[in-house]
Amino acid sequence: MAAASEIEEGTVLQPKYDADGIVTAVATDAVTGDLLMVAHMNAEALAKTVASGEAHYYSRSRRKLWRKGEESGHTQRVVEMRVDCDQDAVWLKVEQTGPGACHTGRKSCFYRVVPLGQSGAAKLAFREADKAFDPGGVYKK
């Protein structure tokens, strides 16, 4: 195992995969800076993203690699990719093709606000209630 200094201050990409072989991937809109989605990558998804400049992720629930947009057409071209200090997360600044990144039909997956200063049950508030596209028409069921 590499020393912390080498991982944090070195120039070698050596992702710290978890027990399931996964790192976290955060995608933001390269133009607006908005957070679009949080997903995951295994080594193959990471390698394909680096090689192609197109975002690839790994679905933990479906246990498969997917190229973002392969079904919806809403691909993500990676403008810049970064890795964090301990190399267990990557940040993709992307050009999002089409109306949105979220499978619910919205631009961003983060369309609901959690109210602060409360204890107990919190009632979420929608920020982007209207859908940018019809997911039923874009994603095969």
Which residues form the interface with its own copies (CB under 8 A)?
8-13, 24, 26, 28, 33-35, 37-38, 47, 50-51, 53, 78, 80-86, 88-91, 102-104, 106, 109-119, 121-127
Give me the least distance between CB of 73 and its own copies, in Å please. 19
Nearer to its own copies, 9 or 137 (CB): 9
Give me the least distance between CB of 133 and its own copies, in Å please. 14
Number of other CB atoms surrounding residue 55 within 10 Å: 27
**Closest by Cα among 23, 33, 56, 25 to 107:** 33
Nearer to its own copies, 73 or 122 (CB): 122
Give me the least distance between CB of 70 and its own copies, in Å please. 19
Give me the least distance between CB of 127 and its own copies, in Å please. 7
Taking a C-beta distance cutoff of 8 angstroms, is the pair 38, 24 a contact? yes
Point out which residues pair with 37 in neighbouring strands: 27
3-class SS of residue 108: coil
Structure tokens belonging to residue 21: 């072989």
Helix (H) or strand (E) holding 44: helix 43-52
